[in-house]
Amino acid sequence: MANNTEQKWQIIAKKKKDEQYSRLPTEWLLNSSPSPDVRTYIDIPRKSGILSQEELRITEEFDATALAEAIRRKELKCVDVTKAFCKRAAIAHQLTNCLTEILFDEALSRAKELDAHLAAGKSPLGPLHGVPVSLKDTFKIKGYDASIGIAALAFNPATENSVLVDALLKAGAVLYCKTNVPQTLMALDSHNNTFGRTLNPFNTLVTAGGSSGGEGALLGMRGSVLGVGTDVGGSIRIPAMCNGTLGLKPSWQRISYAGQEGGTLPAIAKLGIPASAGPLAHSARDIELFFKALAEQKSWEQDPDVLPSPWNTLSSTSGRKLRIGVVRRDGVIEPHPPIARLLDEVASKMRHAGIEVVEMDITPIFSQCQSLANSLFGIEGGNAMFDLLESANEPLSPWLSTRLRRKEPLSLEKVRQLHAKKTELQTKFLKIWKDATGQEIDALITPVAPHPVPPIDRWNGVSYTSSFVLLDYPAGTVPVRFFERADMQGELPNTKPLGSWDKANRELWNNVDRETYLGTPLCVQVVAPKLEERKLCEAMAAIETAIKGTGKGPASKL
């Protein structure tokens, strides 16, 4: 019986967690929780005794591309692959609290149907035939909640699928779980009152990121081989960085975003900055597999926002030498010493791999992006979200409680002025894609963040990620290596901070025990011109190949 002093949201949250727990098979439950002094959970699935040797092989030695090929050749069965990832996701969830909706039974039934389809001599449904795919909780799957951690949205199952969900099913994917997000989707650490906090499996002292933090943690634990998140300020790229995976935010009209739950009014994002849906994965070729598979499904026939653009019609860098720019700073927040050195490392590896590297200083215009993006994020004043929270007497989570409040929506004239400024900036940025000699620059690398993966609830500014949403440039994250003791060296200049964001960033280096960062992934961001996702995938693949020359990438630790 409920305690009479409990608020409505607390009662709902308990019921939701009970429902979630009931969907975990008892034989997949861990015997005990890790000791509080255990900082990394990465090895626990392997040692748990729950996964067979074959299931360990399936979840650790294949990327999505290799799994799809093995299934097509009938070297692996869809049901065995699905069961392996369901089991590993269950283990990952018990350790990191990364899941929301659990669809294991439905996934195993679909996998059996997909096996029967191939056994009957029929061609695969699509490029993702039998590949398990996890989804951020915002996506709607018929029969399951898309509560995004908000009590008022719980126990209200979707009556139809998001457009992207239908496209993934048509491509042959097996959908088996949805993943955790921050309350309001406006934080960079995934905590909400309904499901709780998601932990970083590499280092529990630091954030798993947000808002696709559950996706990041699940992939970091190898509980997913291919996931889908969303990004409007860095919400794919930041969790990818935090958990050592690749992730890509496309231009907003590339992949369908329709039919998702965001806790906002319909079409409100089009008055500000539209979000994008995109993949998180373990290899650059899996990122491209995702885009190829979705392009084949012609989502533009169901979603008017998606541009009709088959993958092979997009520009390619094939057959010529890549030219990649290095953008070291944004003029708003100065990177920490290890981040600055990381760009040097990657630039050196690119040169060694035959990529032409071009140093770029775009701070005069880069520095104008963050404040404008922040203004456009807030045009509605957050009122729809506050209405939802207040309907169940739900408070803001602690981190948001001092940062978020109701505001008056901006006037039409103010919104017009902001968009005029955005257009002006986008026009200026067009010039960065050619150097002084008029030669084309294919892509650029820059930090994902000016700091390493920070302690829980300590993520600083998002200027390095939100700027490319404002500009509508596709941008991805590529893991390089892990933070080591040598990375603790170096000091920031003893000069006046560039501003309040820079001041806070300095505290993450000067006033945090730098040992906290040990074992956390270090990544770079790769950016391409608007709607040039194919070119971006090729640049990410080339950089990934250049980095792997050392064998020190995050994947080597899994």
Give buried/exposed letters for 537-546 (b at 16+ CB in 10 A, else e): bbbbbbbbeb
User: DSSP letter string over 407-459?
Assistant: -PPPPHHHHHHHHHHHHHHHHHHGGGGB-TTS-B--EEEEESSSSSSPBTT--
- Active site (catalytic) residues: 136, 211, 235
Strands (DSSP E) contained in 282-337 are: 323-327
Hey, what are 153's tokens?
């949205």
Q: Is there a binding annotation on residue 381?
A: no
User: DSSP letter string over 475-494?
Assistant: EEEEEEEE--GGGG-----S
Q: Is there a binding annotation on residue 234?
A: yes
Q: Is there a binding annotation on residue 367?
A: no
Q: Is there a binding annotation on residue 233?
A: yes
Q: Is residue 8 a contact partner of residue 392, using CB atoms and an 8 Å limit?
A: yes
Contacts of 194-197 spanning 24+ positions with Cβ under 8 A = 194/9, 194/12, 194/13, 194/16, 194/17, 194/147, 194/149, 194/150, 194/151, 194/154, 195/13, 195/16, 195/17, 195/20, 195/97, 195/100, 195/149, 196/17, 196/97, 197/97, 197/456
Report the C-alpha gap between 34 and 40 in whole angstroms: 9
In order of 170, 255, 288, 361, the CA distances from 295 in angstroms are 11, 8, 11, 35
Q: Is residue 278 a contact partner of residue 247, using CB atoms and an 8 Å limit?
A: yes
For the beta carbon of residue 467, count every other beta carbon within 10 angstroms: 27
For the beta carbon of residue 474, count every other beta carbon within 10 angstroms: 28
In order of 42, 48, 448, the CA distances from 88 in angstroms are 11, 10, 28
Q: Is there a binding annotation on residue 38?
A: no
Cis upstream peptide for 211 (omega within 30°)? yes
Give buried/exposed letters for 144-159 (b at 16+ CB in 10 A, else e): bbbbbbbbbbbeeebe
- What's 495's DSSP letter? S
**Phi then psi for 449, rounded to 5 degrees?**
-145, 160
Query: Would residue 172 be called left, alpha or beta, if left means φ above 0 and alpha means ψ between -120 and 50 degrees?
Result: left
What's the full length of the chain, in residues?
A: 558
Report the C-alpha gap between 474 and 299 in whole angstroms: 19
Closest alpha carbon to 449 in 550, 349, 531, 342: 342
Q: Is residue 443 a contact partner of residue 526, using CB atoms and an 8 Å limit?
A: yes
Burial of 471 (0-12, 13-18, 19+ CB in 10 A): buried
Sequence ranges of the binding site: 185, 211, 232-235
Detail the residues annotated as belonging to a binding site for substrate. 185, 211, 232-235
